[in-house]
């Protein structure tokens, strides 16, 4: 048997590159670097999803896989830190499976706006401006709807959109209400960057999710003699010889062993890449000393600058005629991009995702919503260690809405969402409005299984019954005890909802940020190499100096495409 395909750690005696993490970045790096002739080892803490054996819930164009705990890091929580809830711990789902977040999250394929990348350059990330990254975006894409100078055809990642003629009634009504508020139709949200509403680009075909794993690690790529893949392999720490990284210590099936390579690349994401660095003695010396770790590299920026997109959901119970037909699987197919104020530096800082159904089950078919997201936040958090023990999850603190500007903009965004829900085009399609979030109740109902199939259909049937019963169930069940706002309570209801129900999207970034070589807060230089170290790079969302105005999957794939070019050009030293 070819040991490259057993998932066991059987690398050759000499590795050019060791990639830690097979998420959106790691899959790209494995394909591109092995294509250059390098001996590459890819290790992933979660399970594999090889071509021809991808689980059905991952393939589904409705993202059911996000609720399957088998694909997530166990025990990981985060302090959301939203205003009014300091110290609030919440489960924070992060993918632990081949393909990472691209295998479990919502398949939204936004790039951000050109200003995002030009701001990276202004902050010291030379070579990462819009003109620099656009070729990498084009190279990764197989866009079914657009081509020309702004789009790619023939790349590994399928991108498609749903035509407005196929939009369900609630989605169409929200679009009409937005148009009446100077938010016109945007034909191409990846090529037109003003305020407006439009079709969301998605990484899927007509019938299947396109993850980074399925796009970049197809059967032909996996057959390369110089590519070795080991899953269910947990990397505990980096190995050092002085300040040169020589590899990692990894745990597989209870066996701990060393893997050595000329060049190691951390691609474990904005939570786990800084955690590995800290466990390895690379970070703020005081933080390391607090958990008994001897410093190797004094890097003040490791684990700082953590960012996420805050989101709050305004939900409603749909009348039967407004519900999404069963043949239309995705939950997000359109969105509004808008500006919270008149500051040109913060244009298009808000995103409103239009959700015509809220889950895979019977109850989800009847609940629609508007997800108000702040896509240009100022608040910053941190990733630190609770212990030197690799099995203890890190201490993640987002400090969302800690910057008053974020708090105020979320209030403005939710105010617009409420206004759209109350529009004459939308009101006839719905019943009560209520605030919701990814609560423990919602998480339990989203778990796959026959029990929840039966239970959610029963609840959905009751909600379609008498008005008084539905109102009570919404208020004391999924609505969290809140009454629908009235004109007299509107302002206080909006503020209270933002404070109580804001939580984080699954877009952590910035915790090992990129910057100039003389920037003391930067962890990697503009070539993604760790400052002060040899043989070590980081390539994932953690190196983003600032979050982009987009869901992070496509920008991370772009990062890896561009980093692979740099590594090939420079060699592995």
Identify the residue whose tokens are 């060791």: 18
* CA dist., res. 334 & res. 321, Å (int): 19
Can you say how many angstroms the Cα of residue 123 is from the centroid of all Cα atoms in its chain? 23
Backbone angles phi, psi at 344, to 5 degrees: -60, -30
Tell me, what DSSP letter sits at residue 239? E
Smallest CA-to-CA distance from 317 within 177, 470, 419, 139 is with 470
Smallest CA-to-CA distance from 160 within 204, 192, 190 is with 204
Whether 501 is a known active-site residue: answer no
What is the end-to-end Cα distance of the chain in Å, rounded?
Answer: 33
Smallest CA-to-CA distance from 325 within 170, 457, 178 is with 170
Smallest CA-to-CA distance from 70 within 95, 52, 34, 35 is with 95
Smallest CA-to-CA distance from 18 within 1, 49, 39, 2 is with 39
Is there a contact between 323 and 314 (Cβ–Cβ < 8 Å)? no
Tell me whether strands 196-199 and 332-338 are parallel, antiparallel or unpaired. Answer: antiparallel
Smallest CA-to-CA distance from 513 within 447, 561, 559 is with 559
- Catalytic residue (choose from 162, 272, 501, 507): 507
Tell me, what DSSP letter sits at residue 425? T
Is there a contact between 306 and 397 (Cβ–Cβ < 8 Å)? yes
Residues classed as catalytic = 507
């Amino acid at each position: 048997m070819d040991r490259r395909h057993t998932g066991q750690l059987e690398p050759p005696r000499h590795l050019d590159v060791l990639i830690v993490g097979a998420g959106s970045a790691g899959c790209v790096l494995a394909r591109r670097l092995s294509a250059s002739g390098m001996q590459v080892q890819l290790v992933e803490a979660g399970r594999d999803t090889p071509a021809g054996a991808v689980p059905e819930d991952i393939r589904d164009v409705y993202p059911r896989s996000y609720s399957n705990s088998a694909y997530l890091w166990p025990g990981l929580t985060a302090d959301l830190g939203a205003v009014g809830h300091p110290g609030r711990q919440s489960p924070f789902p992060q993918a632990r499976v081949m393909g990472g977040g691209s295998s479990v999250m919502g398949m939204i394929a936004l790039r951000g706006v050109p200003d995002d990348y030009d701001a990276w350059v202004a902050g010291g990330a030379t070579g990462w401006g819009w003109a620099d990254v656009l070729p990498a975006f084009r190279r990764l894409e197989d866009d079914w709807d657009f081509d020309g100078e702004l789009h790619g055809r023939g790349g590994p990642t399928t991108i498609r959109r749903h035509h407005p003629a196929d939009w369900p009634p609630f989605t169409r009504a929200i679009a009409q209400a937005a148009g009446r508020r100077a938010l016109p139709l945007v034909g191409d949200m990846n090529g037109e960057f003003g305020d407006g509403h439009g079709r969301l680009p998605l990484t899927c075909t007509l019938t299947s999710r396109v993850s980074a794993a399925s796009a970049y690690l197809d059967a032909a790529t996996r057959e390369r003699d110089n590519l070795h893949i080991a899953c269910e392999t947990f990397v505990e720490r980096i190995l050092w010889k002085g300040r040169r990284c020589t590899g990692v210590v990894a745990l597989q099936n209870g066996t701990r062993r060393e893997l050595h390579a000329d060049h190691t690349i951390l691609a474990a994401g904005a939570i786990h890449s800084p955690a590995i660095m800290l466990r390895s003695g690379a970070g703020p010396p005081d933080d390391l000393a607090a958990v008994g770790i001897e410093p190797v590299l004094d890097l003040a920026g490791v684990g700082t600058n953590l960012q996420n997109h805050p989101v709050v959901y305004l939900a409603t119970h749909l009348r039967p005629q407004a519900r999404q037909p069963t043949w239309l699987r995705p939950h997000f197919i359109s969105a509004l991009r808008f500006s919270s104020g008149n500051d040109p530096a913060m244009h298009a800082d808000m995103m409103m995702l239009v959700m015509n159904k809220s889950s895979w089950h019977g109850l989800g078919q009847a609940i629609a919503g508007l997800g108000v997201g702040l896509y240009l936040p100022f608040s910053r958090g941190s990733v630190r260690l609770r212990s030197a023990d690799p099995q203890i999850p890190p201490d993640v603190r987002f400090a969302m809405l800690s910057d008053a500007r974020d708090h105020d903009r979320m209030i403005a965004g939710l105010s617009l969402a409420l206004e759209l829900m109350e529009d004459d085009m939308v009101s006839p399609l719905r019943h009560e409005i209520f605030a919701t979030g990814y609560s423990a109740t919602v998480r339990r109902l989203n778990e796959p299984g026959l029990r929840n199939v039966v239970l959610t259909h029963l609840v959905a049937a009751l909600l379609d019954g008498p008005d008084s019963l539905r109102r009570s169930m919404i208020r004391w069940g999924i609505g969290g005890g809140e009454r629908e706002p009235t004109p007299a309570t509107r302002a206080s209801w909006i503020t209270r909802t933002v404070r109580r129900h804001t939580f984080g999207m699954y877009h952590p970034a910035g915790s090992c940020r990129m910057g100039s070589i003389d920037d003391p807060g930067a962890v990697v230089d503009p070539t993604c190499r760790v400052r002060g170290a040899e043989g070590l790079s980081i390539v994932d969302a953690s190196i983003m100096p600032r979050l982009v105005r987009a869901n992070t999957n496509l920008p991370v794939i772009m990062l890896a495409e561009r980093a692979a070019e740099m590594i090939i050009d420079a060699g592995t030293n």
